[in-house]
Chain A
Amino acid sequence: MRNIRRPIRFRTKDNMANRGTAQRPNGQTQGKICQFKLVLLGESAVGKSSLVLRFVKGQFHEYQESTIGAAFLTQTVCLDDTTVKFEIWDTAGQERYHSLAPMYYRGAQAAIVVYDITNQDTFVRATTWVKELQRQASPNIVIALAGNKADLANKRVVECDEAQAYADENGLLFMETSAKTAMNVNDIFLAIAKKLPKNEQAGNGGSSGQGRRLAEAEGQKATAGNCCK
């Protein structure tokens, strides 16, 4: 938001337009375009915004400013013959902003719950987010658990096995990621894209409908199909 911090400026809109023309020509004729709403949750300063920034723009800022309220970005990935467009809601991490969270995860087809592998509390917080999503979000939501800051392995507190076991138990995708080194960042989004159902609902591409999805949302639940792994 503070433009001065970003050495490379992207006009996001142009950026989007370019990407559209670059990737869509064959997409439109051959494959489907699916849009998915994805939300990032997790304790503050675990690297949610950094993961998104790495995924969407390929950038990394050591001093990524905190997110207040939420931020929104989009990114498209190609998966075989399908173009998957993620509409990413990056939320504020501070516990106090919790009351805003349902506004963002309501109607989301995917969520990445992020923790910091160097901080046990953030892992505990991640598990409560998972519980809340399982209870409150769309029943078929695809949840991924991301153990971020994997580059700080020498300061590791949360063991990979522990997190993997928890993820298996709860049917979550799990990867350790590093927004700094880009490790597993694209992979985790791709894994989600693979797991998401690409049936009829995916076709409702008109992006003007997204606002209502955010505001009203509940109707979306029913349309989400089964997982096709």
Chain B
Amino acid sequence: MCPTLLENEDRCLGGMTFFAQSHPIELCGSNGLPLTPNSITIYGRSQFLKTINHPNLSTYLDIIRSKHERTIVVAEYSGESLTNKKNLSLDSIVKIAYQSLLALQHMNDVGLVHRHLSPDNILITKEGNVQLYNYGLYYMTNGGKNVSFPIGYPKYTAPEVFLGTKVSGIKVDSWSLGIIIAECLLNQPIWPGVKLAQCLRKVLSLLHSETMIFERLARENNCYDTYQAVPQELRDLVDSCLQIYPSKRKTPAELLQLPPFAELLKKDAKEREENLYKNVIVRKMDELYYLWQLAGGDITMELKKQGMVRSRPPILSIPNLIILIGQMFGRRDTAGLLDLRVVKVPLDTLRQRLSHIPYTANYPRLTSQMHVQAQDDLTDAASQLPLIIRERDTEYQFYRIVLYDRLLQIYPITREAIIREAHKDIPPPVRGAVWAALLGIKGDIQKRYDMIDKETPTHTDRQIEVDIPRCHQYSELLSSGAGHERLQRLLKAWVRDNPYYVYWQGLDSLTAPFLYLNFNDEARAFACLSAFIPKYLHKFFLKDNSAVIQEYLSKFSQIIAFHDPQLANHLKSISFVPELFAIPWFLTMFSHVFPLHKILHLWDKLLLGDSSFPLLVGLAILKQLRDSLLTSDFNECILLFSDLPEVDIELCVKDSMAMYQKTPGSITYRRHQFDQSKAMHWTEPEPGTERMPRISIDDLLNLLENTPDQVIIVDIRNNIQFERGAVRGSINIPFTSVQLSQTDINTLGPHAQPLADNKDSIVVIIGPHDQNNALFADFLVSCGVMGVCSLQGGIYALRSKAARILVPTR
């Protein structure tokens, strides 16, 4: 049985396309950079339209930029346009007027004007409900400034639009609706067969009309009788719309208060009350569009099939001859004009694709503890596939989206379940919300964001201003004007909100992924950023962050030596320190290093770990460069990082997860880490003084209890002490017997063989002196031994915490 989402066959996609105006070549903005192409400006502005959700407005789904400044707009297209409806009853006319006004009122509330209202753009669904279409054209083109064609069909355009160049107010739509209703009531088009130029003259001639416009139009079109049959209150409605002076004309909201709508308003209020407790799950149109694309849908192809996207040699768009007075001969280029056609695309492909999915799939079960009940085999089997394939699998994505929707609806009580699911994967459409959940965002984030001053100039403004046009500019979203404005607001807000911190270059890159995912929800982007920085970059943005960064980098060196002594030894031999390459890695959590699509997959997993996870990501990147690094000298190594080769991000994520799990927590302890609770009673040595990390006694005892075969304990006390009491199975290599200068494990004798053979055990050095422990650890690493660390507190820690495991060895 077909899931509910697709029952409604009326729901279709509508595709339309137009060209943005192209800038003259060679023009530069004030900062010397080329002007942003208008299509990108439109792309950025139009994102806001996707957030509009109203039953009488068709949902905007996608804006696609294509070659030569072409913009393709995808929106819901349900039903038929009003143009095709004839002989409407008075009731249906009133209903159409009413619902159109509701839609217009909602648009006005969010700051939009239609300006393009015509019967073509009023869709009537099967149930007779109105959905306004193409209502965002005027907005997305910045009042028509970004396109070379005029917006609005002259017959339906309010006269003041032709008289002034000002931005249109909300009353222009009242006029358009007035003409449309008039046509419906008269049941015939006004001025049929009149050409465009004449039409303009006709509209302007109304300016001098002495009678009411509606009456005059009726007389002009020889249907005064029909006019007289129209009930008075409807005539009044049209008259209120068709006022020449905008000051006398009513706004959509005012029109709704007129008598014809009183009953409908009452009915609506009643229905709303009744529906309050109805829980109807209908899949949202944007999800359907996403799945439709996965199922092979491609709106550009559909437009091409209809001949609406045609490529023509540019030379053909040049007129053959232009005479001095400007008259053109030959073919004129019409590409810059608005193509009014809309391609209606049913969701059949998707419907077929999902036809076998049971209806119940729309309601994933959660247990009383808010856990997800075991899913069916399909998703389990699929979760083994590579991420790239999972993200392109229609059914798998359907199940995942449905599940996440359910979990997110009742977040935060489902936070644990979301974390568990995020370990598998995160479907792209819900990523923004899931990340916020992983970061524990809740409460009134909008209010908090609104209260921050983002306007007052500060001395960091110049820096932010020069950084933004360089931040992930390959992304259409982030390179648009809307993207720049938002990024600037976010950065200013963060600096303002964190008086103890300052703006370091790189903060822009760090903010970019959050903005990219929450382009229409700055508050959530801000909340995510504000939660992310303390968790992963605690104190990194201090004015003097050198101690913090130095500590982090020396921990990174330790981690390299811990997991890959051979590489560490090579890098040490050529004096290649992380300071040379890893600052941008960690300061921006790799967001300055990778393109966005890679950052998203990397951070999907990064957000599941703590602040030490990035160290292992760094190591995983080195691992991919390992072969080159091992055979390179200093210059070649540094060149490798200045122009980082392609990194396989999925492999990188997998490797870092694996190594993260193999690294005991205390190995990565830092003084400056955010979560200090674990590091209680922990005195980390000065950064850079010890080459190898220390392990805490708790972690050691844990290892001994759970995975004793993966620990090798090296006791470096003298034999007498060792014989008196040591951990069972530990190897005794008295420190005094070791020639530190001879970095060869074989000099230690046969009982050190397990160290040489070590593949994935952790080698814990226990001795009485921290300093000697460190020297010996350094020695072992130089010999190429894996997994070396020393026990924090040495033998004394063992004695005080777990004397019972110390047994006489003879």
Q: Do A and B bind each other?
A: yes
Task: State the A residues within 8 Å of B (CB).
Answer: 1-5, 10-13, 16, 44-45, 62-66, 68-74, 87, 92-94, 96-97, 99-100, 103, 118, 121, 149, 151-152, 155, 207-212, 214-215
Minimum distance in angstroms from A109 CB to a CB of chain B: 16
Contact with A along B567-590 (1 / 0, CB 8 A): 000000011110111011001100
Minimum distance in angstroms from A112 CB to a CB of chain B: 17
Interface pair A3/B502, CB less than 8 Å apart: no
Interface pair A13/B640, CB less than 8 Å apart: yes
Minimum distance in angstroms from A220 CB to a CB of chain B: 14
User: With a CB–CB cut-off of 8 A, which chain A residues contact B628?
Assistant: 13
List residues 214-252 of chain B with CB under 8 A from any CB of chain A. none
Per the bound structure, the CA–CA distance linking A212 and B509 in Å amounts to: 32
Known: A4-B474, A4-B595, A68-B584. Is A214-B642 also a contact (CB below 8 A)? Answer: no
User: With a CB–CB cut-off of 8 A, which chain A residues contact B644?
Assistant: 1, 3
Contact with A along B540-573 (1 / 0, CB 8 A): 0001101000000000000000000000000000
Interface pair B470/A63, CB less than 8 Å apart: yes
A35 nearest in chain B by CB position: B635
Q: List 12 A-B contacts (CB under 8 A).
A: A4-B474, A12-B643, A13-B628, A16-B639, A62-B34, A63-B470, A66-B467, A66-B470, A69-B584, A94-B505, A207-B634, A210-B634
- Is B463 at the interface (CB under 8 A from chain A)? yes
Per the bound structure, the CA–CA distance linking A140 and B640 in Å amounts to: 30
Per the bound structure, the CA–CA distance linking A5 and B575 in Å amounts to: 31
- Is B301 at the interface (CB under 8 A from chain A)? no
Known: A10-B643, A68-B505. Is A99-B546 also a contact (CB below 8 A)? Answer: yes
Query: Which 6 residue pairs of A and B lie closest in terms of their CB atoms, listed nearest first?
Result: A211-B575, A45-B466, A69-B583, A68-B584, A211-B634, A63-B473
User: With a CB–CB cut-off of 8 A, which chain A residues contact B472?
Assistant: 2
Interface pair B645/A11, CB less than 8 Å apart: yes
A116 nearest in chain B by CB position: B32
Contact with A along B629-642 (1 / 0, CB 8 A): 00011111011111
User: With a CB–CB cut-off of 8 A, which chain B residues contact A62?
Assistant: 33-34
Known: A62-B33, A94-B505, A155-B32. Is A72-B467 also a contact (CB below 8 A)? Answer: no
B638 nearest in chain A by CB position: A72
B546 nearest in chain A by CB position: A99
Per the bound structure, the CA–CA distance linking A3 and B628 in Å amounts to: 18
Known: A45-B470, A152-B32. Is A208-B579 also a contact (CB below 8 A)? Answer: no
- Is B735 at the interface (CB under 8 A from chain A)? no
Interface pair B505/A71, CB less than 8 Å apart: no
Minimum distance in angstroms from B461 CB to a CB of chain A: 13
For A2, A62, A73, A155, the residue with the greatest tally of chain B CB atoms inside 10 Å of its CB is A2
User: With a CB–CB cut-off of 8 A, which chain A residues contact B576?
Assistant: 211
User: With a CB–CB cut-off of 8 A, which chain B residues contact A65?
Assistant: 470-471, 473, 509, 592
Per the bound structure, the CA–CA distance linking A16 and B639 in Å amounts to: 10
Minimum distance in angstroms from B300 CB to a CB of chain A: 22
Interface pair B474/A44, CB less than 8 Å apart: no
Known: A69-B584, A207-B635. Is A2-B504 also a contact (CB below 8 A)? Answer: no
Known: A2-B593, A2-B594, A62-B33. Is A44-B642 also a contact (CB below 8 A)? Answer: no
Partner of B543, one of A94, A96, A100: A96
List residues 620-657 of chain B with CB under 8 A from any CB of chain A. 628, 632-636, 638-646
Partner of B32, one of A97, A103, A149: A149
A209 nearest in chain B by CB position: B634
Per the bound structure, the CA–CA distance linking A106 and B506 in Å amounts to: 25
B466 nearest in chain A by CB position: A45
Contact with A along B101-143 (1 / 0, CB 8 A): 0000000000000000000000000000000000000000000
Interface pair B575/A68, CB less than 8 Å apart: no
Known: A45-B466, A96-B543, A99-B546. Is A66-B505 also a contact (CB below 8 A)? Answer: yes
- Is B664 at the interface (CB under 8 A from chain A)? no
Interface pair B636/A13, CB less than 8 Å apart: yes
User: With a CB–CB cut-off of 8 A, which chain B residues contact A3?
Assistant: 595, 644-646
A-B contacts besides A99-B544, A212-B575, 4 pairs, CB < 8 Å: A12-B643, A68-B588, A72-B638, A215-B575
For A5, A65, A100, the residue with the greatest tally of chain B CB atoms inside 10 Å of its CB is A65
Per the bound structure, the CA–CA distance linking A1 and B509 in Å amounts to: 12
List residues 498-526 of chain B with CB under 8 A from any CB of chain A. 502, 504-506, 508-509
Per the bound structure, the CA–CA distance linking A155 and B34 in Å amounts to: 14
B635 nearest in chain A by CB position: A207
List residues 578-622 of chain B with CB under 8 A from any CB of chain A. 579-581, 583-584, 587-588, 592-595
Interface pair A74/B592, CB less than 8 Å apart: no
User: With a CB–CB cut-off of 8 A, which chain A residues contact B574?
Assistant: 208, 211
Minimum distance in angstroms from B450 CB to a CB of chain A: 29
B582 nearest in chain A by CB position: A69
Minimum distance in angstroms from B360 CB to a CB of chain A: 42
User: With a CB–CB cut-off of 8 A, which chain B residues contact A66?
Assistant: 467, 470-471, 505-506, 508, 592
Instruction: Tell me the total A-B contact number using a CB cutoff of 8 A.
Output: 130
Interface pair B643/A1, CB less than 8 Å apart: yes
Contact with A along B434-478 (1 / 0, CB 8 A): 000000000000000000000000000011001101111110000
Per the bound structure, the CA–CA distance linking A10 and B642 in Å amounts to: 12
- Is B28 at the interface (CB under 8 A from chain A)? yes
User: With a CB–CB cut-off of 8 A, which chain A residues contact B594?
Assistant: 2
Minimum distance in angstroms from A209 CB to a CB of chain B: 8
Interface pair B642/A96, CB less than 8 Å apart: no
User: With a CB–CB cut-off of 8 A, which chain B residues contact A118?
Assistant: 32
User: With a CB–CB cut-off of 8 A, which chain A residues contact B466?
Assistant: 44-45
User: With a CB–CB cut-off of 8 A, which chain A residues contact B645?
Assistant: 3, 11
Per the bound structure, the CA–CA distance linking A63 and B469 in Å amounts to: 7
Interface pair A96/B639, CB less than 8 Å apart: no
Partner of A72, one of B463, B575, B583, B642: B642
Interface pair B639/A1, CB less than 8 Å apart: no
Interface pair A68/B642, CB less than 8 Å apart: no
A69 nearest in chain B by CB position: B583
Per the bound structure, the CA–CA distance linking A49 and B28 in Å amounts to: 20
Partner of A1, one of B467, B587, B593, B638: B593
User: With a CB–CB cut-off of 8 A, which chain A residues contact B463?
Assistant: 44, 94
Per the bound structure, the CA–CA distance linking A63 and B579 in Å amounts to: 26
User: With a CB–CB cut-off of 8 A, which chain B residues contact A208?
Assistant: 574, 633-634
User: With a CB–CB cut-off of 8 A, which chain A residues contact B470?
Assistant: 45, 63-66
Partner of A68, one of B469, B583, B640: B583
Interface pair A103/B595, CB less than 8 Å apart: no
Known: A45-B466, A94-B505, A211-B574. Is A12-B32 also a contact (CB below 8 A)? Answer: no
Per the bound structure, the CA–CA distance linking A149 and B466 in Å amounts to: 14
Per the bound structure, the CA–CA distance linking A212 and B572 in Å amounts to: 11
User: With a CB–CB cut-off of 8 A, which chain B residues contact A100?
Assistant: 583
Per the bound structure, the CA–CA distance linking A96 and B644 in Å amounts to: 25
Interface pair A68/B502, CB less than 8 Å apart: no
Per the bound structure, the CA–CA distance linking A17 and B544 in Å amounts to: 40
Interface pair A2/B583, CB less than 8 Å apart: no
Interface pair B642/A12, CB less than 8 Å apart: yes
B637 nearest in chain A by CB position: A211
User: With a CB–CB cut-off of 8 A, which chain A residues contact B639?
Assistant: 12-13, 16, 72-74
Interface pair B504/A103, CB less than 8 Å apart: no
Interface pair B474/A92, CB less than 8 Å apart: no
B644 nearest in chain A by CB position: A1
User: With a CB–CB cut-off of 8 A, which chain A residues contact B595?
Assistant: 2-5
User: With a CB–CB cut-off of 8 A, which chain B residues contact A64?
Assistant: 470
Minimum distance in angstroms from B576 CB to a CB of chain A: 6
Per the bound structure, the CA–CA distance linking A2 and B509 in Å amounts to: 11
Per the bound structure, the CA–CA distance linking A101 and B188 in Å amounts to: 78
User: With a CB–CB cut-off of 8 A, which chain B residues contact A99?
Assistant: 544, 546
Interface pair B584/A1, CB less than 8 Å apart: yes
List residues 252-301 of chain B with CB under 8 A from any CB of chain A. none
Minimum distance in angstroms from A85 CB to a CB of chain B: 9
Per the bound structure, the CA–CA distance linking A63 and B466 in Å amounts to: 10
Per the bound structure, the CA–CA distance linking A65 and B508 in Å amounts to: 11
A151 nearest in chain B by CB position: B32
Per the bound structure, the CA–CA distance linking A152 and B32 in Å amounts to: 7
Partner of B505, one of A16, A96, A149, A212: A96
Interface pair A87/B575, CB less than 8 Å apart: no
